[in-house]
Structure 1
Amino acid sequence: MLTGPPPTTPAGSARRPVVASLVVLGLVLVTALTVWGLSGRGATNPSTTAAAPAVTSGSTGAPGPAAPGAPGDHDAALDAFYTQSLSWSACDGQTSDLCGTAEVPVDYARPTGDRFGLALRKVPASDPAKRLGTLFINPGGPGGSGLEYAQYAQFVFSDEIRAHYDIVGFDPRGIGESDPVGCLTDADMDLLFADDPTPDTAAERAKLLADADAVTARCAASGGERALHMSTAEVARDLDVLRSLVGDARLNFFGVSYGTFLGATYADLFPATVGRFVLDSALSPNQTETQEMTYDIQGFESSIDAFIDWCVARSDCALGRDRAAARGELVDLLDRVERTGLKTAKPGLTTIGEGWASFAVFMCLYSDQSWPTLNEGLAQARTGQGDILLARAMSVVERSATGRYAPSTYLQAMIPVRCADWPRTPDTPALSAARATAQREHPLWARMTGLLYDTCRTWPAAGRTPKGATLATGAAPILVIGNLRDPATPIGGTKQLAADLDSGVLVTSDHDGHGTYLTGSSCVDGAVDAYLTAGTVPRDGLACR
């Protein structure tokens, strides 16, 4: 699940639509893969850091940001990285934002070898007298731009949070402006959407898997050694270097979607340096494929139900006015698209199939702000035209009308990160039977997700093995928040992460869409703001309505 760059927003615009668009940057990799049916599923001045306030928590206290200068726990061979000079200068010669670059080793096992240059953007605290330290942020993806996320901080974070923290976004190693590893051609990326995500014959299945293997192999060959070092664990180690360089003894972090995977990984690697963490719309690194499939079904079903309820109440609903029949109407429409395609006016994509169409439908479920677009796109699709759905999908993946993809698009990060982070689940008879049952009992979900293939068979490195135990033992309280009807990171996964973390504190919101903070719940917003600015830990299990 991901999108393109944040929209340009005029001053005074309402926060909610902008935040919803930004949060789509928190595209969970597993959903991005569904379009192919392939998911297997220099230091700052210490004098600028204010003393930490007293904790005013509930049953557990969140630590105030620690005094600067405390050493991190790292190998002496990495001293050069932890002590490098981080210099800030005006970004592009404009605004008050500051930009900088830090170096990290490509391979932490060989720190004297090649290096990545990490691009950073800092929005200084608006009230220096209240400043508590730095809040690092990640919008998800993997592949979402932390630089753009920081650039739009005024729409993503409350005035109180921006008063208390320097907001720092960064593009992770190999992504965006951080020495990008571009391993896919435009033709490769088009292929992700051109293949039939729900093959009906052995020949169609064989083609889908062969294309997946070929693209993965080409990515590994083109990306080289750097592509093999884009794992979340390595990005988490980069974060610890950055924490040290800004002078904070503890890392304060706000991550959305895949950014929660990064935050949980950091907390598990460095529990002693966890400061105030907020993980919004979460998934657990411990999730098995069976759990993930269960959560995905629950999340999708609740989201499509909400859209259908909204749609059938309208006189112009593309699915009719009968709620009971609406699902079948959408299934039939996608089946027709699979058979005959949709005509478009886009050069090079004069006909699109189920891959592009189902991706657009799923992306429109991310926020109720997109429901009118989805309704219009479905109505047009019933006439055999696909321009509205294609425009939505192309904006998400940053594809131009001429067929060129933005060089920093998240799709470039999809294979290297997924093949490092997602476990290679053996295709056992029991798992195959569970998939078949799920697809039969949830036909609309099946058309959104396709078949669950493993795209990493030709990747030259092993995938991650889930820890399968408590994460971040001994860490300070970590706030985990999520919407009850989130199609991208379903609430089941968010609840699992809160339970898997030794100090997880769960807050849920009775809302639709992907992304929880600043998307309509004053209850959630108040809990997050009080936690980040005053250390007040909300009650575990707080249900916001």
Structure 2
Amino acid sequence: MANPSRPRAAALITTAALLSAVLAGCGGSTGDGDLPAQKLDWKDCPAPSEAEGGGSAPSPLPHGGDWQCATMKAPLDWSRPKGDTIDIALIRARASGPADKRIGSLVFNFGGPGGSGVTTLPAFAGDYSNLRTRYDLVSFDPRGVGRSAPVECESNSQLDVYFQQDAVPDDKAERDQFLQRTKRFNAACERNSKKVLPHVRTTDAARDMDLMRQVLGDDKLHYFGISYGTELGGVYAHLFPKHVGRAVLDAVVDPTQTPEQGALGQTKGFQLALDNFAKDCTSKTTECPIGDTEQDVKDRIAKLLADLEKKPIPGIFPRQLTETAAINGIAQSLYSKDFWEYLTEGLEQAYDGDGKILMLLSDSLNGRSENGDYSNLLAANTAISCSDAKPRYTTDDVQRKLPEFRAASPLFGPFMAWGMLSCTDWAVPGAADHPDVSAPGSAPILVVGNTGDPATPYEGAKKMADALGEGVAVELTYKGQGHGSYDSKNKCVQRAVDGYLLDGKVPKSGAVCS
């Protein structure tokens, strides 16, 4: 929910951030312009840049070996492939199995848009160790993200103010203030990133991936896309259907939706996750510390938010926990069932006047490190989303839709509805109402939907499968909770995905795991 109007906003990178000198990259020359023939200079990985979230260089791989990083040159403007270039940051873990069993590279995108693959892949490497037996595991910072010509907008202190603002305005004065904050943020993006802003669309990133495929030496792109990464994968398949190898789309974005429809769908998804959280807490044999019944849990949360709107409580000094920060913190904890215990503890503390845990969760969602530095997650998320999506909504549009959003979720609905204004006055026109992912002639693409996914609701998997076209998508359903399926460690899901990626065994479409 870094950009709450987008169903692909905020992804696994935020989970990694909780548990655990920007390189500009623009303006180079292509030389002879033969970019597919460039050689990557793989070296030990540096510590992540501030735009990537900061921290330490990645630790050695779980079963031995070191991470390697490199930089790939790509055209700034794909319509001028021999013009200026940008740097695309890459990371890889070499295949651990015998060389004669190696299939090639498996490229990951973990979502956002705006998440750094260079920092996320090492954080989740243990989950993919089986896939590493036959693939080099590869990820990257997409253009506009991290160390790949990062979009820059506001400073750390300005972002602290931005994330403390009242994102659920109740009267004209609050609406005007909210609009002015959005306009200031968007103007800062244009001022600080004018050169790269027109060139961060998903279609640009897809073309980067095809160049990456060639530079890595692969005839086909083997791909694992999660959350927004499923949209990127679908767009790639549309542009390069004959280049698709073995591809998996997990936590699937509905490619048929407008931003408004996506926001409403995500509102319903987070409400479903909150309902499931409340049911889980109150159904245990031990007493639920945050409510006696499911409805009591939700009523107490609603009262907390109403109280915070009037009077914030201490959060992480010197900041206070506002209504907006609390909503973000609650949303972050619903991305994974593993985080429900943090939500329970955070709510307990907040009821006693201590907002630290909910603010920590909110910071994680927004890409803020413990030392107060922000990654460029929000900047990149906004830039990519607003460049992709054509609609530009007004306050009249939001007010007209508010009743429908409130009906979908009294807690998340208004917040998500007002988030639709994030592209107001954006400097670059949006490309389309929704992405084109039709991919006739593509190899089979495994599409995995989770019935309890809050951020990319389950219905999106079917819509993606239909949009890819007849004979392309193979559907797999996981009856679970949280954002995504493979990383839930469900054995049934992992067997199906591993069987396809490692051995080429295409599961029966319509299979169900629970």
TM-score normalised to the size of structure 2?
0.85
The CA deviation string for residues 393-431 of structure 1, in whole angstroms up to 9 with x for no partner, is: 2234342455x324x441231221121122315559888
Report whether the alignment pairs 1:462 with 2:429.
yes
- Residues 275 and 294, structure 2, Cα contact 8 Å, conserved in 1: no
Aligned to 2:513: 544
Aligned to 1:85: 39
Question: Cα–Cα, structure 1 residues 178 and 375, in superposed 2: closer, same or farther, change >3 Å?
Answer: same
- Quick one: which of 123, 143, 157 aligns to 2:128? 157
Aligned to 2:209: 239
The CA deviation string for residues 482-504 of structure 1, in whole angstroms up to 9 with x for no partner, is: 21111111112222112211112
Report whether the alignment pairs 1:320 with 2:268.
no
Q: Which moved more, 1:161-170 or 1:191-200?
A: 191-200
Give 1:207 deviation, angstroms: 1.0
- Residues 121 and 169, structure 1, Cα contact 8 Å, conserved in 2: yes
Aligned to 1:510: 479
- Residues 263 and 417, structure 2, Cα contact 8 Å, conserved in 1: no
Mapped to 1, the partners of 2:280 and 2:202 lie a distance apart of 38
Partner secondary structure for residue 487 of structure 2 = coil
Report whether the alignment pairs 1:253 with 2:220.
no
Partner secondary structure for residue 290 of structure 2 = coil
Mapped to 1, the partners of 2:435 and 2:147 lie a distance apart of 34
Mapped to 2, the partners of 1:506 and 1:434 lie a distance apart of 33
Mapped to 2, the partners of 1:416 and 1:99 lie a distance apart of 25
Gaps of 5+ in 1: 4-21, 28-76
Aligned to 2:504: 535
Give 1:157 deviation, angstroms: 1.0
Aligned to 1:357: 326
What letter is aligned with 1:107?
Answer: D
Give 1:457 deviation, angstroms: 2.5
Instruction: Kindly report which structure 2 residues correspond to 1:384-423, keeping only aligned pairs within 5 A, or say none.
Output: 384-401=353-370, 404-406=372-374, 408-423=375-390
Give 1:219 deviation, angstroms: 0.9
Give 1:291 deviation, angstroms: 3.3
Aligned to 1:134: 105
CA-atom RMSD in angstroms: 2.7
Instruction: Kindly report which structure 2 residues correspond to 1:293-312, keeping only aligned pairs within 5 A, or say none.
Output: 293-312=263-282
The CA deviation string for residues 123-179 of structure 1, in whole angstroms up to 9 with x for no partner, is: 1111122101111111111222212233245413142x1111111111112321223
Mapped to 2, the partners of 1:192 and 1:421 lie a distance apart of 23
What letter is aligned with 1:423?
Answer: K
The CA deviation string for residues 93-135 of structure 1, in whole angstroms up to 9 with x for no partner, is: 9743322211001111223332111111111111122101111
What letter is aligned with 1:525?
Answer: Q
Partner secondary structure for residue 118 of structure 2 = helix
Partner secondary structure for residue 495 of structure 1 = helix
Question: Cα–Cα, structure 1 residues 316 and 385, in superposed 2: closer, same or farther, change >3 Å?
Answer: farther
- Residues 221 and 244, structure 2, Cα contact 8 Å, conserved in 1: yes
- Residues 342 and 386, structure 1, Cα contact 8 Å, conserved in 2: yes
Mapped to 2, the partners of 1:515 and 1:249 lie a distance apart of 28
Instruction: Kindly report which structure 2 residues correspond to 1:145-184, keeping only aligned pairs within 5 A, or say none.
Output: 145-152=116-123, 154-159=125-130, 161-184=131-154
Report whether the alignment pairs 1:472 with 2:443.
no
Aligned to 1:285: 255
Aligned to 1:52: none
Give 1:450 deviation, angstroms: 5.0
Number of equivalent positions: 474
TM-score normalised to the size of structure 1?
0.81
Mapped to 2, the partners of 1:439 and 1:367 lie a distance apart of 24
Mapped to 2, the partners of 1:531 and 1:276 lie a distance apart of 7
Question: Cα–Cα, structure 1 residues 191 and 482, in superposed 2: closer, same or farther, change >3 Å?
Answer: farther
Partner secondary structure for residue 311 of structure 1 = helix
Aligned to 1:50: none
Q: Which moved more, 1:298-307 or 1:308-317?
A: 308-317
- Quick one: which of 457, 471, 475 aligns to 1:490? 457
Aligned to 2:160: 190
